[in-house]
Structure 1
């Protein structure tokens, strides 16, 4: 099966919404409160992603990527952009806001390829350091970020639908190191 990473388009809103619903429920069962996961309604997620993809068209620092099969089946997605506020002090210039791959396709290089796409995008935008936040109990994701050179940078609590969620930051002080990693899915548009 041939896979590729490409920059998302407005027409991808429904598939990214479905991916978010699926991947969040797979990833965060037992880590996030049940009401947060139950609240992932597709109509709301679709509206959110449609707005994000429109925003991407007007904001060159905002990148959204999709990992898909050659027949267009979306298997993962990632978003990135310039850091803001406290995130800049902890993570650096750029931030990978989201990165998710369906559980059935993890361990095949898609997460790594999405990280490469984001790091290269951030570098093209002149953002030379960066990082991301991950739910503190998400040991699988934390091991992945550490395996590709992420360094623990701090922790905080994120507010999600009124719940306080502990998260930790991982950073890459030089995104060139992350962008130079090899990947099984090397091409992206």
Structure 2
């Protein structure tokens, strides 16, 4: 890579981030299903994870065509025209958050085969820009306490723990829970 590029790591013609269309639902579902076994490794048995791309895609299509809030956004990272990751932004829903000032990065998911290529950084930057455009002044996100890679990625990007934590019930039975910590960053 040449060093005289005005924006190191900036987008080239091959890689970009844009707002998702409902046509992207299948590709988003595919990325999600590929990422889940790694995301929930050691937390959930592989056989309970969804494997039906069509069913998951249908949920995405519905969420994108009729969002509950106009500020619920889905962004996709592309390599050429292939979806390699996605991010979700929305008003923060935690009881101690202000849904006008606080936005949430609900998810940043990359295809496990597409890591370390800059897609995550581009997606994160686009998500923060989107939250700022939606007039949020702070962003929060929840991270599995054991997900050191994601935590490091976010703290390197300027996010910091805000002391909030929670236990998420993964299967509704109360027997499979994951500890999560909340990170936040000022935006805008």
TM-score (norm 1): 0.82
**Which residue does the alignment assign to 2:153?**
144
Please say if residues 134 and 167 of structure 1, whose CA atoms lie closer than 8 Å, have aligned partners that are also in contact.
Answer: yes
**Which residue does the alignment assign to 1:97?**
106
How far does residue 14 in structure 1 lie from its aligned partner after superposition? 0.6
Q: 1:55 to 1:36 in 2, by over 3 A?
A: farther
Off by >6 Å, runs of 4+ in structure 1: none
Q: Which of 17, 25, 42 is the equivalent residue of 1:13?
A: 25
Counting matched residue pairs gives 170
Contiguous gaps of at least 5 residues in structure 2: 1-12
**Which residue does the alignment assign to 2:120?**
111
Q: Which has the larger radius of gyration?
A: 2
Please say if residues 74 and 87 of structure 2, whose CA atoms lie closer than 8 Å, have aligned partners that are also in contact.
Answer: yes
**Which residue does the alignment assign to 1:159?**
169
How far does residue 60 in structure 1 lie from its aligned partner after superposition? 2.5
Please say if residues 25 and 37 of structure 1, whose CA atoms lie closer than 8 Å, have aligned partners that are also in contact.
Answer: no
Query: Does residue 34 of structure 1 match 2:45?
Result: yes
Relative contact order higher in (CA < 8 Å, ≥ 6 apart): 1
Separation in structure 1 between the aligned mates of residue 96 and residue 105 of structure 2, nearest angstrom? 11
Contiguous gaps of at least 5 residues in structure 1: 177-189
Separation in structure 1 between the aligned mates of residue 74 and residue 159 of structure 2, nearest angstrom? 21
Give RMSD over aligned pairs.
2.0
Query: Does residue 51 of structure 1 match 2:62?
Result: yes
Separation in structure 1 between the aligned mates of residue 55 and residue 76 of structure 2, nearest angstrom? 20
Separation in structure 1 between the aligned mates of residue 96 and residue 139 of structure 2, nearest angstrom? 9
Deviates more, 1:146-155 or 1:42-51: 42-51
How far does residue 105 in structure 1 lie from its aligned partner after superposition? 1.8
Please say if residues 34 and 112 of structure 2, whose CA atoms lie closer than 8 Å, have aligned partners that are also in contact.
Answer: no
Query: Does residue 168 of structure 1 match 2:181?
Result: yes
Separation in structure 2 between the aligned mates of residue 130 and residue 46 of structure 1, nearest angstrom? 27
How far does residue 65 in structure 1 lie from its aligned partner after superposition? 0.5
Q: SS where residue 126 of structure 1 aligns?
A: coil
How far does residue 35 in structure 1 lie from its aligned partner after superposition? 5.3
